[in-house]
């Protein structure tokens, strides 16, 4: 049986097979992506040349520390590599547990190919386990939460262990909606939430993922 870290490495290694010199590559965030960046550095040392754009300050810092070029003026990517918190059979996913959903969605949307790297535990027939994360504007956030609740959702403003509100890389707050039931229509849920002016973006990704790499406990990586 492979450890969780080893599974992440296995999936990251598979994702690396899609990277070629001359590409612009969107780099997501989270621990699986960190494993990917470590392996990417080895390839860069061997002569691979790419330009990247990063979905979080943390990923950007790691890329830069390895001497990998990061350019946030890029307008399109050949491919985007990221993790997810949960993914369903139709490749819809829930993202944002690592705070970075907003930039992640911007980069995924500008990418020709979106590859999501997960382990088996993140797969579901229908989304229901992970929260729907909403990035919300600090101004008027009480009113925004009231409107989210008016849609029938219940959740929590994300705070740290000292009860301080978590602030994203973009200076906003996060509201985590706990799902009571499976998410039958991710697009509909996204559009309803996005209709609230204070909701800047949601962690519901639909019609955007092209390929899923799933790391199995036994060590193999399957492509979906
Ligand atoms: C970041 O906000 C998330 O969308 C991440 O992509 C997600 O949390 C996956 O992270 P791990 O690879 O650490 O599970």
Ligand 1 contact via 101 beta carbon (within 6 Å): yes
**86, 95, 168, 204, best to mutate for ligand 1 pocket (most atoms within 8 Å of CB):** 95
Distance 117 CA to ligand 1 centre (A): 10
In this prediction, residues 196-200 reach a mean pLDDT of 98
CA distance 163 to 27: 30
Catalytic sites, residue numbers: 104
Ligand 1 contact via 86 beta carbon (within 6 Å): no
Q: What is the pLDDT of residues 121-180, one digit of tens each?
A: 999 999 999 999 999 999 999 999 999 999 999 999 999 999 999 999 999 999 999 999
Q: What is the pLDDT of residues 34-83, one digit of tens each?
A: 999 999 999 999 999 999 999 999 999 999 999 999 999 999 999 999 99
Beta-strand ranges (E) seen in the chain are 24-27, 51-54, 77-82, 86-87, 93-94, 111-119, 132-136, 155-157, 173-177, 199-202, 204-205, 211-215, 221-223
The DSSP annotation for 72-121 comes to TT---EEEEEE--SEE-TTS-EE--TTS-HHHHHHHHHTEEEEEEEEEGG
Average pLDDT, the chain: 97
Q: What is the pLDDT of residues 90-104, one digit of tens each?
A: 999 999 999 999 999
Ligand 1 closest atom vs CA 117: 12
CA distance 58 to 34: 9
Secondary structure of residue 179 in the 3-state scheme: coil
Q: Comparing C-alpha atoms, which of 114, 92, 111, 115 is closest to residue 203?
A: 92
pTM of the model: 0.96
- The phi and psi torsions of 42 (rounded to 5 degrees) equal -60, -40
Other Cβ atoms less than 10 A from the Cβ of 152: the count is: 9
**5, 26, 28, best to mutate for ligand 1 pocket (most atoms within 8 Å of CB):** 28
Q: Is the pLDDT of residue 1 over 80?
A: no
Return the residue matching tokens 């990917």.
36
Tokens of 224: 């979906």
């Amino acid at each position: 049986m492979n450890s969780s870290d080893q599974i992440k490495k296995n999936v990251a290694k598979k994702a690396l097979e899609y990277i070629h010199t001359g590409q612009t590559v969107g780099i997501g965030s989270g621990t699986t992506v960190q494993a990917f960046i470590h392996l990417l550095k080895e390839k860069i040392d061997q002569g691979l040349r790419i330009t990247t754009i990063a979905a979080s300050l943390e990923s950007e810092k790691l890329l830069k520390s390895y001497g990998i070029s990061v350019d946030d003026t890029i307008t399109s990517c050949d491919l985007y590599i990221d993790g997810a918190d949960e993914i369903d059979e139709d490749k819809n996913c829930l993202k944002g547990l690592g705070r970075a959903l907003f930039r992640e969605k911007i980069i995924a949307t500008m990418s020709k190919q979106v590859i999501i790297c997960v382990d088996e535990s993140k797969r579901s027939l229908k989304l229901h386990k992970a929260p729907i994360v909403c990035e919300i504007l600090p101004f008027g956030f009480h009113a925004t939460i009231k409107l989210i609740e008016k849609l029938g959702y219940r959740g929590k403003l994300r705070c740290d262990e000292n009860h301080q509100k978590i602030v994203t890389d973009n200076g906003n707050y996060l509201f985590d909606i706990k799902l009571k039931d499976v998410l039958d229509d991710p697009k509909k849920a996204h559009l309803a939430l996005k209709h609230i002016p204070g909701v800047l973006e949601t962690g519901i990704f639909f019609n955007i993922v092209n390929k899923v790499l799933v790391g199995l406990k036994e060590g193999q990586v399957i492509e979906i």
